[in-house]
Amino acid sequence: MRVQARAQYIRQSPYKVRRVLDLVRGLPVAEARHVLSFANRRATEPVSKVLESAVANARHNHALDPEELFVVSAFADEGPTLKRMRPRARGRASRILRRTSHVTIVVGDRREEGEEV
């Protein structure tokens, strides 16, 4: 059984979030929590929240044991980009792109390990 959780409009670029997701992809949930607690990145907070939400969804909605879960897939898609302006010299302005991301984490139990993701 596979269960997912999503967080949308995270105010961090997808590139930076993907660096954190690469650390936890394929790990058991307990080990993924441990890795996220020691990763020195700003993106670990929203990724941790999405992971905990996926585990809670699996436990409450599908009666799966959290001890047997592992991270099947984790990815970050690009969300809408906020366009801002910064004043520059001689009355000009330059554009600042504030990127957002949508984070999805899928957890599953070991019974479906041989299936394609």
**pLDDT tens digits, one per residue of 4-46:** 999 999 999 999 999 999 999 999 999 999 999 999 999 999 9
User: Is 56 within a domain?
Assistant: yes
The partner residues of 77 in beta bridges, in order of sequence, read 102
pLDDT of residue 117: 42
Domain with residue 56: its CATH number is 3.90.470.10
User: Is 117 within a domain?
Assistant: no
Are the beta carbons of 47 and 21 closer than 8 angstroms?
yes
User: Phi/psi of residue 47, each to 5°?
Assistant: -65, -40
Domain span holding position 50: 2-112
User: Is 20 within a domain?
Assistant: yes
User: Is 70 within a domain?
Assistant: yes
- The amino acid occupying position 14 is P
- CA gap 72, 113 in Å, rounded: 9
Number of separate domains in the chain: 1
User: Is 87 within a domain?
Assistant: yes
- pTM metric for this prediction: 0.88
